[in-house]
């Protein structure tokens, strides 16, 4: 299963990389000959997809490395770091195109859209939406945050190209359409960056377990221990596919240390087997 996951991730990465390089060249060329800042911005948005796809390939190889002395919980968080890099990269790109679009509006420059721009933009929409659907399928198959981020990166590019296509048909009537489209594309880039950064930052900072998981753990404990227990103080740490969970459990004060340890060990094994989580239980006596 692990080899299959790596294969699917790398396949998505390579297909995305070469498709995006082709679309970048195509859109950049169209942007140059039409003088459109919106098309050039869209081209760089596409190139950023190639960079993110290369990061996907590197990440999926590195995250599967086993735990070692320096990284006792494995290398799974490299996937979150990669998503963070992609998000920051998108913010920089979006900010640069906001500035360039404003400069164009101040100069009252207009683009000469034509048949070339229309054809290139349609090709981009179809290509990027195809990549997005393929990446979402791959992400679901192997539960990858990085590939999921890559998929929405593709989709944001497809949506920005769709807006450009609509704008092209109004380009002959409004001189400012190219500058406005450039700003709109930048907003799509910012939105994609926000979505990616939010998904990467929360697990890196630390997050509480959701109520469904807490309820599942309480049910396991209640089912296996024929005494009243009080479970609290949950802390969860995710490392890619590996999840560490610590929590406190109160037991009767008359229990011996050996008996309390036996109960805790049994619960730890059950939680690991049923929820695929590595738990550590801190035992406390009832007051």
pLDDT tens for 31-90 read 888 888 778 877 887 887 777 777 767 766 666 666 666 665 656 677 777 778 878 888
Which pLDDT band holds residue 22 (cuts at 50, 70, 90)? very high
Mean pLDDT of 95-123: 80
Q: What is the C-alpha separation between 156 and 45, in angstroms, rounded? A: 9
Domain finish residue from 205, 240, 269: 205
Number of domains present in the structure of the chain: 2
The whole-number pLDDT of residue 2 equals: 57
Q: What is the C-alpha separation between 6 and 244, in angstroms, rounded? A: 23
Which pLDDT band holds residue 1 (cuts at 50, 70, 90)? very low
Query: Do both 105 and 236 map to the same domain?
Result: no
Q: What is the C-alpha separation between 178 and 175, in angstroms, rounded? A: 7
Query: Do both 82 and 170 map to the same domain?
Result: yes
Query: Do both 227 and 242 map to the same domain?
Result: yes
Helix H or strand E segment including 186? helix 177-205
Residue 138: burial class (beta carbons within 10 Å; 0-12, 13-18, 19+)? buried
The larger pLDDT score, comparing residue 226 to residue 81, is at 81
For residues 101 and 41, is the Cβ–Cβ distance under 8 A?
yes
Query: Do both 241 and 175 map to the same domain?
Result: no
Residue 22: burial class (beta carbons within 10 Å; 0-12, 13-18, 19+)? middle
> Does 199 score more than 80 pLDDT?
no
Tokens (6 digits) for 192: 């994609």
pLDDT digits (tens, 9 = 90+) for 265-279: 888 898 888 888 888
Query: Do both 46 and 164 map to the same domain?
Result: yes
Query: Do both 144 and 35 map to the same domain?
Result: yes
Tokens (6 digits) for 176: 């400012």
Tokens (6 digits) for 1: 């299963």
Per the structure, the complete domain to which residue 16 belongs is given by 2-205
Query: Do both 40 and 156 map to the same domain?
Result: yes
The whole-number pLDDT of residue 126 equals: 93
Q: What is the C-alpha separation between 43 and 54, in angstroms, rounded? A: 17
Query: Do both 117 and 191 map to the same domain?
Result: yes
CATH number, domain containing residue 34: 1.20.1510.10
Mean pLDDT of the chain: 79
For residues 48 and 27, is the Cβ–Cβ distance under 8 A?
no
The whole-number pLDDT of residue 37 equals: 77
Domain finish residue from 152, 177, 205: 205
For residues 159 and 192, is the Cβ–Cβ distance under 8 A?
no
Number of Cβ atoms within 10 Å of the Cβ of 241: 16
Query: Do both 79 and 149 map to the same domain?
Result: yes
pLDDT digits (tens, 9 = 90+) for 143-183: 777 677 778 778 877 877 887 788 777 767 777 887 787 78
Which pLDDT band holds residue 6 (cuts at 50, 70, 90)? low
The whole-number pLDDT of residue 40 equals: 82
Percent of the chain whose predicted confidence (pLDDT) is above 90: 3
Query: Do both 230 and 192 map to the same domain?
Result: no
CATH number, domain containing residue 278: 3.30.70.1350
Domain finish residue from 182, 205, 228: 205
Query: Do both 132 and 258 map to the same domain?
Result: no
Query: Do both 86 and 188 map to the same domain?
Result: yes
Percent of the chain whose predicted confidence (pLDDT) is above 70: 84
Across the strands, what pairs with 238?
Answer: 243
């Amino acid at each position: 299963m692990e080899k299959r996951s790596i294969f699917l991730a790398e396949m998505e990465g390579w297909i995305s990389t070469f498709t995006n390089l082709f679309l970048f060249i195509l859109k950049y060329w169209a942007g140059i000959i039409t003088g459109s800042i919106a098309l050039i911005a869209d081209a760089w948005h596409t190139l950023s997809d190639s960079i993110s796809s290369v990061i996907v390939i590197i990440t999926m190889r590195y995250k599967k490395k086993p735990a070692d002395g320096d990284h006792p919980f494995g290398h799974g968080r490299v996937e979150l770091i990669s998503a963070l890099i992609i998000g920051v990269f998108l913010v920089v790109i979006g900010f640069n195109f906001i500035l360039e679009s404003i400069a164009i509006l101040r100069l009252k420059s207009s683009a000469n859209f034509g048949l070339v721009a229309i054809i290139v933009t349609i090709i981009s929409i179809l290509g990027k939406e195809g990549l997005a659907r393929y990446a979402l399928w791959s992400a679901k198959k192997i539960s990858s945050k990085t590939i999921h981020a890559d998929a929405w990166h593709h989709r944001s590019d497809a949506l920005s190209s769709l807006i450009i296509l609509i704008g092209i048909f109004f380009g002959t009537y409004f001189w400012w359409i190219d500058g406005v489209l450039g700003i709109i594309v930048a907003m799509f880039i910012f939105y994609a960056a926000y979505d990616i950064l939010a998904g990467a930052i929360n697990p890196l900072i630390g997050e509480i377990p959701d109520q469904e998981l807490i309820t599942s753990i309480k049910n396991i404990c209640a089912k296996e221990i024929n005494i009243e227990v009080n479970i609290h103080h949950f802390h969860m740490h995710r490392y890619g596919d590996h999840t560490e969970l610590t929590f406190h459990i109160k037991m009767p004060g008359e229990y011996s240390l050996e008996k309390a340890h036996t109960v805790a060990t049994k619960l730890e094994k059950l939680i690991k087997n049923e929820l695929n989580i590595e738990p550590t239980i801190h035992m406390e006596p009832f007051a």
